[in-house]
Structure 1
Amino acid sequence: MAAQEVMFSDLQLRGKAVAEQLRSTPGQSLVVRRRDSDDLVLTTVERAAQEREVVSVTTRMFVALMQRDGAARELVTDVLPDAFPWVSFLPRADVQAFVVDLVATLRSAESVANPAPVVRVIESWRNTAAVFADPALAEALAAPTDGDFGAVPAPDAR
């Protein structure tokens, strides 16, 4: 179910009414639409803490299972296409590398309560799958080069 929406101006002008609307919303969250910037999500502190706890516990259980049970790692590798259909373009060894990378990053990101590294890992592997999905691009990138093109500059820090 999609979250209910309010305009930012409603939040400014009718704050108490919007707060009451938030409390009566099943998901206890509202999308606050803004014209001049990114939209926001308004929720209660209690609801945010509950969601964080659910994500944290789920991540810790998943990581522990993956670290302790080889059969679980195999099963996750086998069902990964259900969650990430694009992995079907990756070689089996890369699917396994993605699982290892994802689990390690989930563990680290959970310890600092920051999901951004997990998103980065998923996007990176999705981009890798996109290369494998395009035979011409994969061939061009795998082709030998005419020599060393020198050091690659570091990306701009953000």
Structure 2
Amino acid sequence: MVAKRFSYSTFLRGPSEVLPTLDNADVILERRDDENIILMRAERFEAGAAGLRIAARALATVARRDNALAEEVLAEELPWLTWLPDAERRECVRELLSQLLAGADTGELLPFARSLTSWRSTAVIWSDLQLARDLRGPFSGDGPEVSRPDGNT
């Protein structure tokens, strides 16, 4: 689906200029000091949500029956999975699928997005062999002692 962009102020000044666009496209209202807002017809939203639920459940079923195949399918979309060690890759796939399934069922996809970002960051760390080695330890002590703040700030 195509999305058309309008400034939020254009929408506030004349919603009748913007709303007819919803017949053929979703609308992104761009705001300067806050996140953008998306307007769409309920039928398109519900169709997308239903499609996501079906796709998430289907992928979860594949993962239960053949975890290696689920990893392969996800690696097509998330090539950074190859940087994770085998055990971490399996944990990543399990967690992402669980979060995706829960999000598809509830409509709350932010936990999935956070997990995706977290795992991508972990994979990037693993891609730097020296950094990964340094972060595995061992670590000497707890680090330097830091004085207690005086409370006057």
The interval holding the TM-score normalised by the smaller chain is 0.7 to 0.9
User: Partner letter of residue 135 of structure 2?
Assistant: L
Shift of 1:36: 2.5
Pairing partner for 1:119 from 94, 113, 118: 113
Backbone CA RMSD of aligned residues: 1.9
Residues 32 and 39 in structure 1, CA contact (< 8 A), matched pair in contact too = yes
User: Partner letter of residue 75 of structure 1?
Assistant: L
What residue is the counterpart of 1:58 in the other structure?
55
Aligned-partner Cα distance in 1 for 2:115–2:35: 24
1:34-59, CA deviations, whole angstroms, 9 ceiling, x for partnerless residues?
22322111111222112111111221
Alignment of 1:127-146 (within 5 A): 127-146=121-140
Alignment of 1:6-155 (within 5 A): 6-23=6-23, 25=24, 28-67=25-64, 69-70=65-66, 73-147=67-141
Shift of 1:30: 1.1
User: Partner letter of residue 33 of structure 1?
Assistant: E
Partner of 2:89, secondary structure, is: helix
Aligned-partner Cα distance in 2 for 1:110–1:49: 11
User: Partner letter of residue 15 of structure 2?
Assistant: G
Residues 63 and 106 in structure 1, CA contact (< 8 A), matched pair in contact too = no
Aligned-partner Cα distance in 1 for 2:102–2:31: 33
1:82-125, CA deviations, whole angstroms, 9 ceiling, x for partnerless residues?
21121121112221221111122222333322111111221111
What residue is the counterpart of 1:5 in the other structure?
5
Aligned-partner Cα distance in 1 for 2:2–2:44: 16
Residues 33 and 39 in structure 1, CA contact (< 8 A), matched pair in contact too = yes
Partner of 1:119, secondary structure, is: helix
User: Partner letter of residue 44 of structure 2?
Assistant: R
User: Partner letter of residue 10 of structure 1?
Assistant: T
Partner of 1:6, secondary structure, is: strand
Answer with 106-115 or 44-53: which moved more: 106-115
Identity of aligned residues (%): 26
Structure 1 residues 52 and 80: alpha-carbon distance in aligned structure 2, compared to 1, 3 A threshold: closer
Residues 26 and 40 in structure 2, CA contact (< 8 A), matched pair in contact too = yes
Task: For structure 2, list consecutive stretches of 5 or more residues without a partner in the other structure.
Answer: 144-153
Shift of 1:5: 0.9
Partner of 1:32, secondary structure, is: strand
Residues 53 and 101 in structure 2, CA contact (< 8 A), matched pair in contact too = no
Task: For structure 1, list consecutive stretches of 5 or more residues without a partner in the other structure.
Answer: 150-158
Q: State the aligned residue count.
A: 143
Partner of 1:4, secondary structure, is: strand
